[in-house]
């Protein structure tokens, strides 16, 4: 149960990264209103999103998934996908915790250039907003 909550939080943080870049979420795992994404090949993905006619696949990696023997095979497969009818490249958004971010960057840097430029890596850490950065109006719920 705790692992599922951690996975949900990771997916939420990855979806936020999609939104920051203007993508709309089409399907996502462990969501409330959107359908679960279908498998891409034999691999399970966490998020499918689109920006205009460009699609992206989102994948979050936790400790267990980072130590899979076929991890690089999965990343290469997912990052080389193209859309069915328009044959456009589909971006791969990888979300990794802060403790594994550097390791993942090194692994991705060892890939072929055509594959590398189709992958975006995100550090999924919760950002804390300090109260001193909020204006006095944003900290109040009701104005008297």
72-96 per-position pLDDT tens digit: 898 889 888 888 888 888 889 998 9
Whole-model pTM: value is 0.78
Q: SS3 for 91?
A: strand
Give which of 17, 89, 18 is closest to 50, Cα–Cα: 18
Residue 59 in any domain: the answer is yes
Report how many domains make up the chain.
1
Q: What is the DSSP letter of 88?
A: -
Residue 138 in any domain: the answer is no
- Look at residue 128 and tell me whether its pLDDT is greater than 50: no
**What pLDDT, on a 0 to 100 scale, did the predictor assign at position 115?**
87
Question: Residue 66's domain is classified under what CATH number?
Answer: 3.40.1350
Q: Find the mean pLDDT for residues 97-123.
A: 87
Residue 49 in any domain: the answer is yes
Residue 44 in any domain: the answer is yes
- Look at residue 110 and tell me whether its pLDDT is greater than 70: yes
Residue 24 in any domain: the answer is yes
- Look at residue 131 and tell me whether its pLDDT is greater than 60: no
Enclosing H/E stretch for 37? none
> In the chain, how long is the greatest CA-to-CA distance?
60
Look over the chain and give the mean of its residue pLDDT values, rounded to a whole number: 81
In whole angstroms, how large is the CA radius of gyration of the chain? 17
**What pLDDT, on a 0 to 100 scale, did the predictor assign at position 142?**
54
Domain that holds residue 126: 2-133
CA 48 to chain centre: 9
């Amino acid at each position: 149960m705790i692992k599922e909550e951690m996975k949900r939080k990771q997916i939420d943080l990855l979806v936020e990264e999609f939104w920051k870049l203007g993508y709309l979420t089409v399907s996502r795992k462990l969501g409330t209103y959107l359908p679960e994404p279908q498998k891409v090949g034999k691999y399970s993905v966490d998020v499918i999103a689109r920006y205009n006619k460009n699609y992206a696949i989102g994948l979050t990696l936790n400790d267990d998934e980072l130590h899979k023997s076929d991890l690089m095979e999965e990343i290469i497969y997912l990052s080389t996908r193209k859309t069915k009818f328009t044959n456009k490249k589909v971006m791969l958004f990888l979300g990794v915790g802060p403790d594994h971010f550097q390791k993942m960057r090194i692994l991705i840097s060892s890939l072929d250039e055509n594959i590398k430029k189709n992958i975006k890596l995100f550090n999924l850490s919760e950002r804390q907003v300090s109260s001193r950065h909020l204006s006095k109006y944003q900290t109040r719920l009701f104005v008297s």
